Chains A and B, each alone.
Chain A
Amino acid sequence: MALLQISEPGMSAAPHQHKLAIGIDLGTTNSLVATVRSGLSHALNDEHGHALLPSVVHYLEHGAVEVGFNAQKQQNIDPHNTIVSVKRFMGRGLKDIDVSQLPYRFTEAGGMVQIETRAGIKSPVEISSEILKTLKTRAELALGGELVGAVITVPAYFDDAQRQATKDAARLAGINVLRLLNEPTAAAVAYGLDNASQGVYVIYDLGGGTFDVSILKLSKGVFEVLATNGDSALGGDDFDHRIFCWILETAKLSPRKAHDTRLLLSKAREAKEWLTEHSEANISCLLSDGEFVNLILSSDKFIALTANLVQKTLSPTRKAMRDAGLTIEDINGVVMVGGATRMPQVRKTIEEYFKQTPLTNLDPDKVVALGAAIQANVLAGNKSDEDLLLLDVIPLSLGLETYGGLTEKVIHRNSTLPVARAQEFTTYKDGQTAMSIHVVQGERELVSDCRSLARFELRGIPSMVAGAARIRVTFTVDADGLLSVSARETSTNVEAHIAVKPSYGLSEDEITNILKASFNCAEADKKARMLAEARVAAGAILEAVTVALATDSALISVAEKQAIEAEMQRLDLIKESQDDDAIHKGIEALNHATEAFAAARMNASVSRALAGKNLEDIKL
């Protein structure tokens, strides 16, 4: 084994070796990637000097795929095979989206929409993974090395299905996800660290397709989200759409084919952007039937057309303020994030509501990625001068279906993550051995108005009289905002433990099949990938334990230390074998051997943190 280096707990074993980690803003309209170099967060540019990558994926003939500007050029020419704003479809079913104005051929599978392209039926997860792959390649080229992992941002108001879909897309792109980070929180990190701010801040994030508002309390490097709210289907795209409808109406055009729809939407977007700094915009284009459109849109007309869209953002803002228990006098600053906040009417409305000029000094398109990169750098274990801790919340309540199709809330919105809640159930019939549990997410009282997350059956309940069985179901939401459910029967000595993964995520087999189909080579087969992943996991735990022993071996006896080292040597040998099962068993054995050590380390670090001037208060 290599010479041991001593470092801070949780930090890298080799402090001089900078680990390559990136932050990715996977946006509705544009995506970008950033990293921390020499202590500063930078967006990484493509070979033409562009930081922004249009979130557009074009499927060509013969299996080729293009992403970004080239794909964007194809959106009017080849609309069926050029997917724009795919983020709007993540974790969404057909009933959730208005397909009438979209040029795609939709189907549905596993509760999520799918799009028919010439390259076959593609899920939003696969399409998004193309964007992520492009950014990953860009980062690897720019940084010249293997990436440890990435922080990927999601709208704070994304529900569990949308988050799971994002994480699946990253896995499909071969990215190790260090954390899913809420976009407004990422923006706050970029702002907070740049401006050394303290106090309560509102992050108003109006992106291409999503709206988030988060209220954060900043102090000494801790970013505590007090409340978040939003609308995961409201953004700059809707402003384009208003202009599009106005064009159809004003030019008295009949409903259009896909090609013209795309063209007019592009013209609408150009007009919107032009109106940010001008009082009128000219919209002119030639349609496929030879008809020529030539219109002038004034900024006053544009403001009138979109007034209720801007107003629509105020209701979530008020909700977040109420949930945080704050009034506008408590707010130290309002930060504008997302390209759509460039529109003067948006800034004006927010300025009037909060009675202060919003902060716009960082580029609203880049700030999310910059913040994500800072967090990625910390999570990867690179030592940073700033002590950064993000305490985020779950945006929407989790509940269970009870009698009459009503929801019973188990975890309330704005609970700080991670959070776990247990709920006890019992049988209502004699001899009942199974029960079905339905988990939903949302604030409404009727189950049918909430999003269905998972439906599962608990089987093997011991046969007893009605009401005697005690089934304890535990809901856990991790720091990514992702739910897992476990259940056990507690009245008997037999404990059935069931882990339930929500049904909409991709299974291991599905991931493998998609990879196989896309690479079309033997290497991508399941076994080889499992082996590679097992080896990575073995390497990671060996490194983690090495670091832990180097720092804290004083906390355990010599015998305990030797037992751990024996398991380490064993795993070090097994990990070179071809047997991924054996490697996993070795990992488990080492893991088991370090349980007491891990507990001792955690206790010691917490005691250290609470020690000092608080000692006189401890009268236990």
Chain B
Amino acid sequence: MSSNLHLNYFELFGLSPKFNLELAKLESNFRKIQSESHPDRFVTASPTEKLQSMQLATLANEAYQTLKNPANRAKYLLALQGIEAIAETNTAMPLDFLMQQMEWREALEDATSAKDISALENLLREMQQEAKLLQTELGLLLDQDLLLNKNTDYTSATDATRKLIFIDKVYADINKAIEQLEATL
């Protein structure tokens, strides 16, 4: 019998590998696996069973966090196809997106030095909307590419994934800036 520990994240949750996941099912299957594997279920068990529980519960957490987050899910789907979305040799971005990036970074710096939390919060909302658009695009690109499988090089999907990862990073930086401003209030 093969162990659960060698399954990929989609297999672990019994889901087909695609970007447009049914999130409710992901969540309910995650909970089902945790209900069986969580260390709380094995407090009185043997050391071997405790170790297995620890390993599977850890894997389920990691897998759930990866698949729940759209950018990480896209990155993981590409990785399953042997494509590394963020590689040191592969940093080219379309010019318009680079310009957009710089604008966001500038807006972040301006709002931070002006200690303007509400401007930062507006920026957060803007990033959320951008992310939503990209996710819709990725859903079309990636799921289609996955169906085509061998007849595609995933170029557009990889580009969109990298944009989404970038937006996540800016989003985190804005949150951090808000946190630091609040701490000094």
Contacts and interface: CB of A to CB of B under 8 A. Distances in A.
Interface of A: 10, 12, 148-149, 178-179, 220, 222, 224, 315, 318-319, 322, 375, 378-381, 387, 389-391, 415-420, 476, 478-479, 540-541, 543-545, 548, 587, 590-592, 594-595, 598-603, 605-606, 608-610, 614, 617-620
A478 B54 contact: yes
Contact of A610 (B16, B33, B42, B44): B33
Contacts of A617: 14-16, 25
Given A391-B34, A617-B14, A617-B16, A594 B61 contact: no
Nearest to A221: B35
27 contacts: A10-B41, A12-B44, A148-B44, A178-B43, A179-B40, A222-B35, A319-B182, A322-B178, A379-B40, A389-B40, A391-B34, A415-B61, A418-B61, A476-B54, A476-B58, A479-B39, A540-B44, A540-B46, A544-B46, A544-B49, A548-B46, A592-B48, A594-B49, A598-B46, A602-B36, A603-B4, A609-B33
Contacts of B32: 606, 609-610
A508 to B, nearest CB: 18
Given A222-B31, A418-B61, A602-B49, A479 B4 contact: no
Contact of A387 (B35, B39, B43, B183): B35
A598 B14 contact: no
Given A10-B41, A416-B61, A609 B36 contact: yes
A233 B58 CA distance: 31
Listed from nearest, the 3 A-B pairs whose CB atoms lie closest are A609-B32, A479-B39, A605-B36
A598 B49 contact: yes
A548 B183 CA distance: 52
Contact of A179 (B1, B3, B43, B46): B43
B35 A591 contact: no
Given A387-B35, A420-B58, A478-B54, A378 B40 contact: yes
Interface string B141-159: 0000000000000000000
Contacts of A603: 1, 3-4
B69 to A, nearest CB: 11
A606 B3 CA distance: 11
Contacts of B31: 220, 222, 224, 389
A605 B45 CA distance: 15
B82 interface: no
B65 A602 contact: no
Contacts of A389: 31, 34-35, 38, 40
Contacts of B57: 418, 479
Contacts of A380: 43-44
Given A389-B34, A587-B47, A602-B53, 18 more contacts: A148-B44, A178-B43, A220-B31, A379-B40, A389-B35, A389-B38, A416-B65, A418-B58, A420-B58, A420-B62, A476-B54, A479-B38, A479-B39, A541-B46, A609-B33, A610-B33, A614-B29, A619-B16
